[in-house]
Structure 1
Amino acid sequence: MYKDFYTPSYEISPLTMAVIANPIKKGETYSYVLEEEMEYAIDNSPSRLMNDACKYLGSSLKGRQDGTREICGITHKAPISVDPSCGMYFFPTTSPANPKCSWIAHTHIDQINRIPDNSTEIIFHNGKKITLKVSYGSMLNQVQRTAQFRYLLDQRIKYLQKHAADLVAEPQP
């Protein structure tokens, strides 16, 4: 399913569709990154890659999770916005502390399907497919919670853009 293109480092981008956990030994996890046109093997866990992406844009994974909690009250398996201006919204498949946690880019999902043995197939807009050992109900819940978070954050951003001139502090005479 995955090509063996190894790179020692990777930066999450708008082309990233999924960052999939692949435990190799106890305590060690590496990631398969699925992009629109390429696939990579990375020597870091998915949550580490997500944290690095958040830090690159001036926050951290925990900071993004805290922001999600403030915006819509989601506390567990919180979706995050790595960069809302580029539509980079991701959700975890389990607790991000779990080495089996993968991250899926909400923007790239076309559909999800129930698969026997408590798994879910994700079909992306470009036709690529992955199957994860996550229940369909849990995956559907994560997709819906991410959509709710995206909507609420987008509304805040639109409000701020609309009222930007009014919100700028002007010096008092």
Structure 2
Amino acid sequence: MDIITEYKINPQTIAMLPNFHPIYQTKIIEEESIYVTEERIDSILNRNCLDYGASITGRREAIIHKTNYVQKTPILISETLKLIIFPTHSPENMNCAWFMYHQIKRVTPIDKNRCEIVMHNTTKLEAQVSYQALLQQIHKSAVIFSLFCTEQTINFSFEVKGRNKMPTR
């Protein structure tokens, strides 16, 4: 485990986890490395969003505008690199961990409030969140990926009506 002063989120980033240590506030897991830093996760996210071209507030507002994902909003860090990170809890919650959408291969429930996340490089991490809540965050991230990182146009206008009787012949 290496100590770093500033972290640049990149395609090898897997997760940023709260690290309950008096000095090193964040644990960062990459495909081949693990780091700790004095920087808090929110500071890392803020700085990286600016480094990739927009403030975290602007990115969050754009996502809310397009999706109405107001709570536990995933953050698109870079459209070019397709870097989307999502929180497991409200970012104000001290147990909030952040996972990179593109790194997740499989999620398995452990119990009512815990899941195992298997990454594409076979790293296994435990998340202190329900299976359904984690799937919802992955789904939100997939929608954000489709809207912002592909040329695909998605229209959300459809109408659901009550059951209609089948016409008789």
TM-aligned CA deviation for residue 29 of structure 1: 6.8
Q: Which residue of 2 is the match for residue 21 of structure 1? A: 18
Deviations 1:103-133 (A, max 9, x none): 1100010011101251111100000011011
* 1:99 shift after superposition: 2.6
Q: Which has the higher helix share?
A: 1
Q: CA RMSD in A?
A: 1.8
Alignment of 1:76-87 (within 5 A): 76-87=71-82
Structure 1 unaligned blocks of 5 or more: 160-173
Check if 1:6 corresponds to 2:12: no
The Cα offsets for residues 52-109 of structure 1, whole Å up to 9 and x where unpaired, read as 1101123222221111101111111111110011110111111122232211100010
Q: Which moved more, 1:67-76 or 1:96-105?
A: 96-105
- How many residues align? The count is 153
* Residue identity opposite 2:80 in structure 1: S
* Distance of 2:26 and 2:56 partners within structure 1: 17
Q: Which residue pairs with 1:112 in the alignment?
A: 107
TM-score (normalised: structure 2): 0.83
Quote the Cα distance in structure 1 between the aligned partners of 2:78 and 2:134: 22
Q: Determine the structure 2 residue equivalent to 1:89.
A: 84
1:20 deviation in Å?
0.8
Instruction: Note closer, same or farther for the CA distance 1:145–1:74 as it changes in structure 2 (3 Å cut).
Output: same
Confirm whether residue 38 of structure 1 aligns to residue 37 of structure 2.
Answer: no
